[in-house]
Amino acid sequence: MWLSVIPVMMHSADSRGRKSSHNKLGGPAAWNRFFADAENAGTRVNLAHMGGNTSVQGSTENWTEVFSQTMQQPGSENLYGDLGAGQSWPRAKVLQD
C-alpha cells in the first residue's frame, strides 16, 4: 500500500465543520479508529497541528496531550506531529519523559 511508503500530513485539530458533529473528525478518537484498522498498519502520518492544543467545545480533553501520549505507545513509530498551530502550544505537556 502506498500509504506505508509516502508520509501523509493530515488535519488533527478541531475541524470547525459545517455541522458541529464534524468538529471531532480530526481528533484522537477518529485517528485511533484509523490506526486500529489493520489495513492502515505502517501508514506514516504527520498530525498537522497535533491537536492544536485545544479541545472541542464541551470537552475537557486536550488533544495535543492525547496525541503526545499516543505517540509514546508501542506501534506508533510512524506517527508524527507538528505544532504549526503554535500560538498556545507551550501550555501543552508534550512528551514529558
pLDDT tens-digit map of 5-57? 788 888 887 766 788 777 778 888 888 888 888 788 788 899 888 877 665 66
C-alpha–C-alpha distance, residues 77 and 72, integer Å: 8
54 vs 64, which has greater pLDDT? 64
pTM passes above 0.85: no
Q: 42: alpha, beta or left, given left = phi > 0 and alpha = psi -120 to 50?
A: left
Under DSSP, is residue 67 helix (H, G, I), strand (E, B) or coil?
helix
C-alpha–C-alpha distance, residues 21 and 24, integer Å: 7
Q: 95: alpha, beta or left, given left = phi > 0 and alpha = psi -120 to 50?
A: left
Note the pLDDT of residue 36. Answer: 82
Under DSSP, is residue 1 helix (H, G, I), strand (E, B) or coil?
coil
